[in-house]
Amino acid sequence: MILKKLKKLAFVAVCMLTANNAMGQDLLANQAPIDRKMRAVDSVMMQQLIKNEVWESPAAELYEDWSNEYAHMPSTLPDTFRINLRDFCMPTPSRVVTSNFGARWGRQHKGLDIKVYIGDTIRAAFSGKVRIVRYEARGYGKYVVIRHHNGLETIYGHMSKQLVRENQEVRAGDPIGLGGNTGRSTGSHLHFETRLCGVALNPALMFDFKNQDVVADSWTFRRSTYNKESSQATRLRGAGGVYRGGDGLYADASSSNSKSSKKQSAQNRYHKVQKGETLYSIARKHRTSVNAICKLNRISQKVTLKTGQILKY
């Protein structure tokens, strides 16, 4: 009798354990879709948080802080850094580079000068966040600084009007200003700089204004080869080492001797007047000014040009 009761109790216990295991499995099975949904929600939220953080402080891994005070303040520059050039927009459709990056007349010209006219639209080169919107009478004039997600900062100088505000998020191609002739400038143009960790890099290493394109999907900064690459970029995509206006500073980054650069810039060139040409058309053709031509040739702006006449410029 007792043995039968023990067997019955054992049978009941086994049934209860089996039922509990089944219920546990059912609970786990029911919980699995919920866990997958929560993981999906968490993933979306995490992606959004990362996106918000990136917009809040672009290229935070390179820069220690976000400041609206200084246009450029050099920080630790990595030995190598890959810069993503995809999803770009050329700052201007102008193909004319008037002044190169590099040493000129005892000082450094830290960007490219691109010929634009007053009122031409200037656009953000990449997506990012506007850090500086300011006016500098003896330098950039009206200018804008943007920090981009690829690590670069771009500077747009001498504009006639700024169309953005500090801390504003912009997309590649958004209008940020209008071409002008403000600040230390002798003619309407865009002064365009590319900086990494506050250090000016030759924009010709990344941008090909003549072909309205970037050089590749990415460009890698290497401290060990930078100077050689910069000189090569100027030869390939610069203004040919000939000063043609802009900031009034001679440009030839490939030259290692500033005295020879001065001598080259001082050499006159000559133009043979064709039928129908005027001082204005000649000046525009050679990207100089009527005043400069008149001064070199000791003539008046009201002079009547003769076909075949030789003018220095």
Q: What is the pTM of this model?
A: 0.63
Reported residue count of the chain is 313
In CATH, what number does 80-262 get? 2.70.70.10
Query: What SS3 string covers the chain?
Result: CHHHHHHHHHHHHHHHHHHHHHHHHHHHHHHHHHHHHHHHHHHHHHHHHHHHHHHHCCCCCCCCCCCCCCCCCCCCCCCEEEEECCCCCCCCCCCCEEECCEEECCEEECCEEECCCCCCEEECCCCEEEEEEEEECCCCEEEEEEEECCCEEEEEEEECEECCCCCCEECCCCEEEECCCCCCCCCCCEEEEEEECCEEECHHHCEECCCCEECCCEEEEECCCHHHHHHHHHHHHCCCCCCCCCCCCCCCCCCCCHHHHHHHHHCCCEEECCCCCCHHHHHHHCCCCHHHHHHHHCCCCCCCCCCCCEEEC
Task: Give the pLDDT confidence score for residue 75 in this predicted structure.
Answer: 83
| pLDDT given for residue 255 in this prediction | 35
Contact by Cβ (8 Å): 16, 24: no
Tokens of 57: 């402080």
Minimal CA–CA distance to 88: which of 260, 213, 231, 248? 213
| Cβ-contact 204, 238 below 8 angstroms | yes
pLDDT digits (tens, 9 = 90+) for 26-80: 555 566 666 665 665 566 665 655 455 445 556 777 888 889 988 888 888 899 9
Instruction: Give dist(CA 230, CA 136) in Å, integer.
Output: 28
Query: Rounded to 10 degrees, what is the CA torsion of 253, 259, 262, 266?
Result: -140
**Other residues' Cβ atoms within 10 Å of the Cβ of residue 7:** 10
**Confidence at residue 21, expressed as pLDDT on a 0 to 100 scale:** 56
Question: What's the confidence (pLDDT) of residue 127?
Answer: 96
Amino acid at 261: S
What is the spatial distance between Cα 269 and Cα 293, in angstroms, rounded to a whole number? 11
pLDDT of residue 269: 74
Which ranges of the chain have pLDDT less than 70? 1-58, 104-105, 240-268
- With a pLDDT cut of 70, the percent of the chain lying above it is 72
Check residue 131 and give its pLDDT: 96
CB 116 within 8 A of CB 160: no
The CATH superfamily assigned to 270-312 is LysM domain (3.10.350.10)
pLDDT the model gives residue 288: 83
